[in-house]
Amino acid sequence: MASLLSFPSIVNETAARIVATGAVAMSLAYVATGNSWILLPLTYGFVARVLSGPRFSPLGLLATKVIVPKMNIKHKLCPGPPKRFAQGIGAAFTITASILLALDLGTASRIVVAMLAGAASLEAFAGVCIGCKIFYAMMRIGILPESVCEECSDISRRIQTV
């Protein structure tokens, strides 16, 4: 069970940006229409990626198994823990939006998802991961335990030798 619910220690940045592009598209579709059937897979995708990386995420699988392998470019690798944290923020936003929608607060739900679309757009189109920046800031000021910092440092060293 633990292996099913594991997140990759190393993440392909190209795949992460493709997933973010899909999240932007779904977020904007939800904001434009308010259609709850769009919010459902958007929320599921973030939760699935937090729990197991791309393994159970249709968008994650599309990015890692179909699109990225067809791209003839040099891919940048990055540590997984900050990306998992960023997916957790996305899950928090979409779960919040889902609760707001269930409480018949559709406009508030759409505002929350619009904010998510903004952050995901930075990742998708500029390679700027807000969640990763928050994660590293939490490392610097000591909010995250030393073991997490050591794991990220170890992963970064392994990536540099690849």
Q: What is the pLDDT of residues 42-84, one digit of tens each?
A: 999 999 999 999 999 999 999 999 999 999 999 899 999 999 9
DSSP one-letter code for 12:
E
5 domain-assigned = no
Helix or strand holding residue 79 (H, E): strand 77-79
Domain residues for the domain of 144 are 10-161
* pLDDT attached to residue 149: 67
Share of the chain above pLDDT 90, in %: 78
DSSP one-letter code for 76:
P
139 domain-assigned = yes
CB 100 within 8 A of CB 109: yes
* pLDDT attached to residue 2: 60
19 domain-assigned = yes
> How far apart (Å, rounded) are the C-alpha atoms in residues 70 and 151?
31
137 domain-assigned = yes
103 domain-assigned = yes
Q: What SS3 class is residue 139?
A: helix
Task: Decide which of 12 and 160 is more confident.
Answer: 12
Nearest in space to 133 (alpha carbons), one of 82, 94, 84: 82
- Residues 92-116 have pLDDT tens digits of 999 999 999 999 999 999 999 999 9
* pLDDT attached to residue 1: 58
* pLDDT attached to residue 57: 97
Q: What is the mean pLDDT of the chain?
A: 92
As given in the structure block, the two tokens for residue 77 are 């690798």
Number of domains in the chain: 1
- Asked if pLDDT for residue 126 goes beyond 90, the answer is yes
Nearest in space to 42 (alpha carbons), one of 80, 83, 31: 31
- The position carrying tokens 């939006």 is 97
Count of all residues that appear for the chain in the document = 162
As given in the structure block, the two tokens for residue 27 are 């977020």
1 domain-assigned = no
- Asked if pLDDT for residue 161 goes beyond 70, the answer is no
What number is the average pLDDT over the span 123-140? 94
In single-letter form, the type of residue at position 89 comes to: I
* pLDDT attached to residue 146: 74
DSSP one-letter code for 5:
T
